[in-house]
Amino acid sequence: MSGQQGKKALPEIEPTAYGDALYKVLGNAARGVYKLIARVEITGRENLPKNGGYIIVANHTTELDPVTVAFPAFVNGALPRFLAKDSLFRAPVLG
């Protein structure tokens, strides 16, 4: 039997212009906070494509890794999307 039995399916969410605008506002706010708590030095930004998609993969060592990995892409004008396990999206506040 599947371990998913009895769990309610998460809704499918499609990106919208409003959602992207909100993402940019929140991303810029997070960017400011991140710069306050960490010294930021980005190298190799020129290697990120300006158009089209790409995948960034990281080996997590801290809880800040998703923000750290997304930071250069966001600064470069991309709106990073994240892949995470199902239980993370069911957590209060994060979900």
> Which candidate, 88, 95, 55, places its Cα nearest to that of 73?
55
Residue 1 included in any domain? no
Residue 94 included in any domain? no
pLDDT at residue number 72: 87
The average confidence (pLDDT) of the chain is 81
Helices 65-75, 17-37: crossing angle, 10 deg rounding? 110
Q: Is pLDDT of 89 > 80?
A: no
Q: pLDDT tens digits for 10-50?
A: 677 777 888 888 888 988 998 888 889 888 888 888 888 88
Residue 4 included in any domain? no
| pTM, full prediction | 0.65
The domain total for the chain is 1
pLDDT at residue number 1: 45
Residue 11 included in any domain? no
Residue 9 included in any domain? no
Cβ distance 95 to 85 under 8 Å?
no
Three-state secondary-structure class, residue 70: helix
Residue 5 included in any domain? no
Q: How far apart are alpha carbons 10 and 13 in whole angstroms?
A: 9
Residue 2 included in any domain? no
* Residue range of the domain that includes 37: 17-89
